[in-house]
């Protein structure tokens, strides 16, 4: 039996080219409030909950008028509208999904985006059927880099976290995967700049086109991280029950402050 039994994909910036959409939405909404943010500013909060992002910028540049919750809602709605028309798959995304399915791995998505945005992006590209579990970090006590969303996803799949392969594009996501004790492959969007914050990943790829036989020969038949122990997620024990979205019966998370993409 091969060591790896499941593959967990991030969404934004990994499967779907939605990072620019989040950046556009944040710049537009924050700009309407008079905040002098640049693209570099919004990139600095990549991978964090949108609620945390809004709170961060409110502390830096307090505004009057809309509440934090209202600004969060405005950003999410702007992203959702753009996803319907502008979100394209990243190069090699469909190939990677098909290849890993063909190797017999159970597939999942674990993202910091709100559940409804994950579902919308996957259905737009007719990929929802490929994933047994679709999990949003908005159902967790903490978002990435906390490992909660990956540990919950593994539990919903019924797979030991140490037998899961994670594909991630951000340093935040890589940190979460490694904290979960999972094998991790990084596909940074803008190498080499994105490599600076990455931890000790098992492989770094230029694109998902490289998820192929040669990668599988290295990862799929290598021992899993059976000597590593996952770090318990915030608010969880490793043996606790979780809610989630599995197969066609996906159930949206219900966090009052949905997480940002990435």
For the segment 170-185, what is each residue's pLDDT rounded down to a tens digit?
888 999 999 999 999 9
Residue 231 has pLDDT above 80, yes or no: no
Residue 105 in contact with residue 3, Cβ under 8 Å?
no
**pLDDT tens column, 189-203:** 776 555 666 668 899
Where residue 146 falls among pLDDT bands split at 50, 70, 90? very high
User: What is the rounded CA–CA span in Å between residue 51 and residue 252?
Assistant: 17
pLDDT at site 251: 24
3-state helix, strand, coil in the chain (%, to 5): 45, 10, 45
Query: To which residue do tokens 């409110």 refer?
Result: 58
Q: What is the pLDDT of residue 83?
A: 86
Which pLDDT value is given to residue 192? 56
For the chain, the first-to-last Cα distance in angstroms comes to 33
Per-residue pLDDT averaged across 68-86, rounded? 91
> What structural domains does the chain harbor?
6-17+89-249 (3.40.50.1000), 19-86 (1.10.150.240)
Please give the torsion angle defined by the CA atoms of residues 224, 229, 234 and 236, in that order, rounded to the nearest 10 degrees: 90
Mean of the pLDDT values across residues 100-116?
94
Positions marked active-site: 10, 12
If we measure between CA atoms, which residue out of 182, 171, 48, 170 comes closest to residue 108? 182
Sign of CA dihedral 131, 136, 141, 142: positive
Q: Quick one: pLDDT at residue 38?
A: 95
| Mean residue pLDDT across the chain | 83
Sign of the C-alpha dihedral, residues 32, 33, 39, 44?
negative
| Range with lowest mean pLDDT among 20-34, 214-228, 240-254 | 240-254
d(CA 53, CA 51): 5
Report long-range pairs for 38-44 (Cβ below 8 Å, ≥24 apart).
none
């Amino acid at each position: 039996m091969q060591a790896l039994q499941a593959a967990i994909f991030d969404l934004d910036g990994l499967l779907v080219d939605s990072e620019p959409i989040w950046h556009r939405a944040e710049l537009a909404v924050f700009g309407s409030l008079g905040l002098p943010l640049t693209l570099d500013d919004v990139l600095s909060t990549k991978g964090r909950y949108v609620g945390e992002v809004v709170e961060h910028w409110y502390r830096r540049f307090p505004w009057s008028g809309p509440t934090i919750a209202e600004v969060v809602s405005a950003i999410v709605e702007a992203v959702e509208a753009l996803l319907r028309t502008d979100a394209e798959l990243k190069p090699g995304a469909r190939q990677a999904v098909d290849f890993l399915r063909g190797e017999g791995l159970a597939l999942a998505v674990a993202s910091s985006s709100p559940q409804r945005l994950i579902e919308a992006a996957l259905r737009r590209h007719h990929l929802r059927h490929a994933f047994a579990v679709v999990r949003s970090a908005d159902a967790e006590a903490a978002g990435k880099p906390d490992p909660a969303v990956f540990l919950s996803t593994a539990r919903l799949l019924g797979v030991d976290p140490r037998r899961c392969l994670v594909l991630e594009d951000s340093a935040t996501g890589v940190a979460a995967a490694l904290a979960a004790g999972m094998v991790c492959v990084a596909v940074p969007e803008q190498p080499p700049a994105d490599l600076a914050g990455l931890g000790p990943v098992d492989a770094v790829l230029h694109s998902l086109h490289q998820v192929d036989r040669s990668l599988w020969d290295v990862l799929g038949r290598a021992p899993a991280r059976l000597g590593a122990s996952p770090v318990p997620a915030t608010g969880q024990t490793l043996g606790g029950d979780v809610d989630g979205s599995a197969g066609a019966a996906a159930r949206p998370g219900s966090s009052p402050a949905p997480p940002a993409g990435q």
